[in-house]
Amino acid sequence: MDDARPAPSLDAAATTDPERERLMAVLRRVADPEIGESIVDLGLVDSLVLGPASVALRLIPTSATCPMADVLIEDAETALRQACPPDWTVEVEMDWDAVWTPQRMSTALRLRLGWA
């Protein structure tokens, strides 16, 4: 059975919530340290959930042995903490059970990298 999950419709959801849209824009500036591309465009953002004075981000690795997972988590958490009010709770985790595929990448990035 294929465990791959399609990329969530982040852009569609973002248009309905200005705060979520703002935080997604912040995450678009976080680059994967190995590839140098946005974690959003790479499809590494599995979910971004806002609650009362909190934000929870779940990332997925590009491989089961992603050597830069700790850096990705730290960079995303730092970006969110800088963008959120100081009293907000910020949680970032890596979902090691999720399977990343190139289809999770934005269309523009797939085209640019020749994966379309």
Model confidence over 35-79: pLDDT tens digits?
Answer: 999 999 999 999 999 999 999 999 999 999 999 999 999 999 999
Residue 2 within a domain:
no
How many other CB atoms are there within 10 angstroms of residue 107's CB atom? 11
Residues 1-39 pLDDT 10s: 344 444 444 433 444 699 999 999 999 999 999 999 999
Output the pLDDT for position 63.
Answer: 92
Query: In CATH, what number is assigned to the domain containing residue 66?
Result: 3.30.300.130
Residue 32 within a domain:
yes
Residue 106 within a domain:
no
Structural domains of the chain, count: 1
Non-local (6+) Cβ contacts of 9 within 8 A are none
**CB burial class (10 A; 0-12, 13-18, 19+) of residue 108?**
exposed
The pTM for the full model equals 0.85
Residues forming a β-bridge with 91: 56
Output the pLDDT for position 116.
Answer: 75
| Domain membership of residue 44 as a residue range | 10-99
Output the pLDDT for position 9.
Answer: 40
Q: What CA–CA distance (Å, rounded) separates 73 from 79? A: 10
What is the arithmetic mean of pLDDT over 88-98?
97
First to last CA, the chain: 24
Residue type for 22, please?
A: R
